[in-house]
A and B are shown apart, each in its own frame.
Chain A
Amino acid sequence: MASLVGSRVERKEDKRFLTGKGRYTSDINIANQTYAVFIRSPHARAKIKKIDTSKALKASGVVDILTGEHIAKDKIGGLIAGWAIRSEDGSEMKCPPNPPLAKDNANFVGDPVAVVFAETLDEAKTAAELVKVDYKVLKAVSNLADTMNSEAIHEGIDKNLCYDWLLGDRQKVKEAFDKADKIIKLDIINNRLIPNAMEPRACVVDYNTASEEITCYTTSQNPHLSRLIMSAFGGVAPENKLRVVAPDVGGGFGSKINLYNEEIVCSWASKKIERPIKWVAERTESFLTDTHGRDHITHAELAVTNDGKFLGFKNETIANLGAYARVFGTVTPTYLFGPCATGVYVMPAAYSNVKAVYTNTAPVDAYRGAGRPEATYTIERIVDKAATELGMDPIEIRMKNFPTEFPFKQTLVHQVDSGDYAAGLNKAKEMADYDGFAARKKASESKGKLRGIGVTTYFEACGIAPSPVVMMLGCGVGLWESAEVRFNPTGQVTVYTGSHSHGQSHQTTFAQITADELGVPIENIDIVHGDTDKGTFGMGTYGSRSLTVGGIAIVNACKKIITKGKKIAAKMLEASEEDVEFKNGEFVVAKSNKKKTIGEVAFASYLPGVRDEVKSPLPEGEEPGLVESSFFDPANFSFPAGSHICEVEIDPETGDVKLDKYTAVDDFGTIVNPLIVEGQVHGGLAQGIGQALHENAQYDESGQLITASYMDYTMPRADNFPEFNIGFTCTKATTNPLGVKGCGEAGTIAATPTVMNAVINALGGEEISLPATAEKVWKACKSAKKTDAKAA
């Protein structure tokens, strides 16, 4: 059997998803269900003086109305930050309580304060309008730059500061800067984004009054974690009485990592009202309450020599946490951000200092790339600026500062196991026809257009493991992953994984690696995920960790199957175990034609005997059955890297930016399925380009989200993109047996600076903030023209 790893196997998921047979949470209906509608604060910051539900309770079809008072009375816990971060001065971070229903204070527009359950959705909505909430409106803190000088939102949290974190060595940086020929300075804003998963959040909860079990179907990237938090922190029910199922999930991008208010409330209330409950977010609710991404203000400095060698780097950032600290909210702007801010370069000295603050806006958490896009944007923009100021070619300055030996000890935290950054950049340069740019620029200019080229080289740290390291850095849980591989007696295989697929095609990729390990046809392999009642505890999918951590757990469980299978085959073939070799699905005795297929061995393991004789195929002491599980905790993060190059053409009359060419060359180590990986790169690029040119979540001064619909929030569309030109280089990861690296976030991480470098290049170095919308670019064109005129 030919190896499936590396081949473009068509997705097993396609038929289901493309023919509308997916089964999403909102497709689930339970007999006798009630419908939940949440009453949300229309104010960004307000005291809740009184909630009057008397009129609403009498409305038609209303089953019950619950508020923060009920939550408090039942001692239901709130939402939590998953990572504890310490400030530079050693003090612990400060986190406010985040009750599932706000009781005393509402802290952002959309913060839920009460919930109505009714027989129909219409009745629930009508009753919700009758609930009277008496607010005392307070002045909102919505301007990130002013946050620390504003009134404290949360009691006891001075300056609205969660932590003031430092990674690196200020003294060493100072010394490096003292030696520099030139200091490059850059002020940037990493704009806030709304993840916009295609499927809005939802949950359907069923409480069984006899078994006292709660089943919560929900839109989650990590159902086991949700159950753990709901049980251990929410106190909703013990884990064994709580089942969390995340069926088909239509995209997450990080916004479905968190356990949300609605899931806790509906799970708790289902038991209270003894009725099933269904809640499905409307798109406006998604805009207002899904965790948002990015939102940094950064000042960075790079110390260089005249010939373009980097001596030191510093990064001072204010990161917006929104109203509350959530699961990855506190780590995203620290350990997922700071270490990557020195990029793919040898940087003798560096530090990252991050002040994370609370504002009256939706909570900010991991969004595709989480911290690494912000880091890459910072370093890649300042490196380009350095090239411009030193009069160097952007490729030349990068090449000059690449590490040449691996493992590469990156300045701040990471020991990068493998890579070849120059190989990637050379390949990208060739694929993008970098040398032909000057001619294309001329051609554009002859049409009255401006043309710019942008380069980014990046590495990122994903996989987000091993456990001892992440727990040392403050993570509240270990970030291993689990798998269980089960042979059925008749030879098919079911794989249970703790990873969760919400668009990543695990059913195909994981089946490919299983097929290769076990020599079983891919059609006979099923992947099961997303149900806490099926399979072992799993940590879920985020941080591009599914294959590098979850996939390897599968490989290791398969290896255990082979070990046991060998013992059984040896006994069946009357050979010694050392003489049995496993290849292509068969156990073969060396130098003989004696063999058993793995299917025969599986069958024998479940039916260990024969008629008329007491005889077992199982060696002495071996148990029947062929089922193995594994928990995999890798030795290190995974470090994909790459080089992206793009070209934009600008119409100076309108400021419209046309993305004309985009080349991405990535090193993801071994590629299991190029078709799927290319899809991941495409999606990532779309989101990264979206940040550069289109998307921008904006709050006004009073804390109202003014981009709360697709009329105002610019989601990129297919016609905004050119054909992507995608290539790969490969240096295998040394920290897992497949040699794989994460690929899910790379596109998002690299695309934003690549596009902005191109836009700024077209503008002749004129700085412009994210996103490069037509009006901003138009203004920049005008001011560039003025400077040109002055210079001439």
Chain B
Amino acid sequence: MKTFNYHSAKDVKEASKLASSSSAFLAGGMTTIPSMKLGLATYKNIIDIKGIKKLSGIKVSGKAVTIGATTKHAEVANSKEIKKAIPSLAALAEGIGDPQVRNRGTIGGSIANNDPAADYPSACIALNAVIHTNSRKIDAEKFFKGMFETVLKSGEIIEAIEFQVPQKSNYQKFPNPASRYAIVGVYVAKHKNGINVAVTGAKSCVYNDKDLAKTLSSNFSAASINNVRVSSSGMNSDIHASAEYRANMVKVFAKKAVEAC
């Protein structure tokens, strides 16, 4: 690891001001620190945002669950309120990494990083999330741009993620046997105003599978998915899973999610 300057920001404004093209925010550090240690990333400035009180915490109303950016996975997993409002979201958090990762990693870090195999991005899409930053509100559908890419600008800080409480929902993940990230993860959510089938792990970026959503809109059952053809084109292929396999797993896990809804 190369030497760097460490700043502990007292508020969002200071954190944002310190940011540059050679800096990173430090939330859980579960992505940033390993990449620095492996020499994959080097930063001049590390801006710790963990001390900013405003960024952490869970608020639940009848219609929405709002989670502060530096809220840890374990806090989401164990939140009684979230378990009641959107049980699938707490369950998703419970399935991230291992206890060490869940006790450090944060929701803001996870979606800012937008790993193609991360779990939370699918929740954002499925649950019509709005990403609140220090300068604007962004709809999840527009937030995730591509592999490890979001629309966040330099110095822009995620403050909170606001999820719409669905009528029913479920997330099913086929974990990578080695890393336990998602080989395929499918988040199905039925809202009053429509159905989302968010898929992570399968392609270079999370996406809403419109075909599956459409099928489920007319018939919300696992059986209806049998007739949908999921194409393997554009799907990831690696030593753990070929594109063809992933395409099939999208279908299988969509069915599992619908069954568990």
Contact = CB atoms under 8 A, between A and B. Distances in A.
Interface in A706-757: 706-707, 710-715
Interface in B162-184: 174, 177-179
Given A126-B2, A710-B178, A775-B242, 15 more contacts: A122-B1, A284-B38, A654-B174, A654-B252, A694-B177, A698-B239, A706-B239, A707-B178, A707-B239, A710-B179, A711-B179, A712-B239, A714-B177, A773-B177, A775-B240
A768 interface: no
A317 B248 CA distance: 37
Contacts of A713: 178
A130 to B, nearest CB: 13
Contacts of B174: 654, 656, 774
Most buried by A among B3, B177, B240: B177
A778 interface: yes
B249 A654 contact: yes
A775 B2 CA distance: 40
Contacts of B245: 775, 778
B138 interface: no
Contacts of A712: 178-179, 239-240
A523 interface: no
Contacts of B177: 694, 714, 773-774
A124 to B, nearest CB: 13
B83 to A, nearest CB: 22
A711 B117 CA distance: 12
Contacts of A715: 178
A142 to B, nearest CB: 15
Contact of B240 (A284, A656, A710, A773): A773
B241 interface: yes
A653 B240 contact: no
Contacts of B38: 284
Interface in A359-377: none
Nearest to A716: B177
Nearest to B177: A714
Contacts of B248: 778
Contact of B178 (A122, A653, A714, A774): A714
Contacts of A126: 2
Contacts of A714: 177-178
B8 to A, nearest CB: 22
B7 to A, nearest CB: 20
Nearest to B37: A282
Nearest to B238: A712
B3 A711 contact: no
Nearest to B181: A711
19 contacts: A122-B1, A284-B38, A654-B174, A654-B249, A654-B252, A656-B174, A706-B239, A707-B178, A711-B178, A712-B179, A712-B239, A713-B178, A714-B177, A773-B177, A774-B177, A774-B241, A775-B241, A778-B245, A778-B248
Interface string A108-130: 00000000000000100010000
A201 to B, nearest CB: 18
Interface in B202-261: 239-242, 245, 248-249, 252
A710 to B, nearest CB: 6
A218 to B, nearest CB: 24
B147 to A, nearest CB: 16
Contacts of A774: 174, 177, 241
Interface residues of B, number: 16
A417 B205 CA distance: 62
Interface in B133-191: 174, 177-179
Shortest 8 CB-CB contacts between residues of A and residues of B: A714-B178, A711-B179, A714-B177, A775-B245, A653-B252, A712-B178, A775-B241, A654-B252
Contacts of B2: 126
Contacts of B3: 122
Most buried by A among B239, B242, B245, B249: B239
Interface string B2-30: 11000000000000000000000000000
Nearest to A779: B245
A691 to B, nearest CB: 13
Contacts of A775: 240-242, 245
Interface in B84-104: none
A657 to B, nearest CB: 10
A122 B3 CA distance: 8
A551 to B, nearest CB: 38
B240 to A, nearest CB: 7
A773 B174 CA distance: 13
Contacts of B239: 698, 706-707, 712
Contacts of B242: 775
B20 to A, nearest CB: 23
A694 B240 CA distance: 10
A218 B242 CA distance: 42
A665 to B, nearest CB: 29
B194 to A, nearest CB: 27
A215 B178 CA distance: 39
A714 B3 CA distance: 32
Contacts of A694: 177
Nearest to B249: A654
A455 B223 CA distance: 38
Interface in A631-659: 653-654, 656
B3 to A, nearest CB: 7
Interface in A250-294: 284
A653 B256 CA distance: 11
A711 B177 CA distance: 9
Interface in A169-211: none
Nearest to B38: A284
Nearest to B246: A775
A281 to B, nearest CB: 14
A773 B252 CA distance: 17
A301 B112 CA distance: 57
A694 B179 CA distance: 12
A653 B245 CA distance: 10
Interface string A125-143: 0100000000000000000
A710 B2 CA distance: 23
Contacts of B1: 122
B182 to A, nearest CB: 13
Contacts of B241: 774-775
A715 B180 CA distance: 11
Contacts of A656: 174
A698 B238 CA distance: 12
A291 to B, nearest CB: 21
Interface in A272-331: 284
Contacts of B179: 710-712
B38 to A, nearest CB: 8
Interface in A746-786: 773-775, 778
A773 B249 CA distance: 14
Nearest to B179: A711
A714 B183 CA distance: 14
A122 B241 CA distance: 38
Contacts of B249: 654
A276 B174 CA distance: 49
A628 B241 CA distance: 61
Interface in A380-421: none
A706 B1 CA distance: 22
Contacts of B240: 712, 773, 775
Most buried by B among A284, A656, A710, A712: A712
B223 to A, nearest CB: 14
A247 to B, nearest CB: 26
Contacts of B178: 707, 710-715
A706 B178 CA distance: 13
A282 to B, nearest CB: 8
A775 B239 CA distance: 10
Contacts of B252: 653-654
Interface in A602-656: 653-654, 656
B10 to A, nearest CB: 29
Interface string B42-53: 000000000000
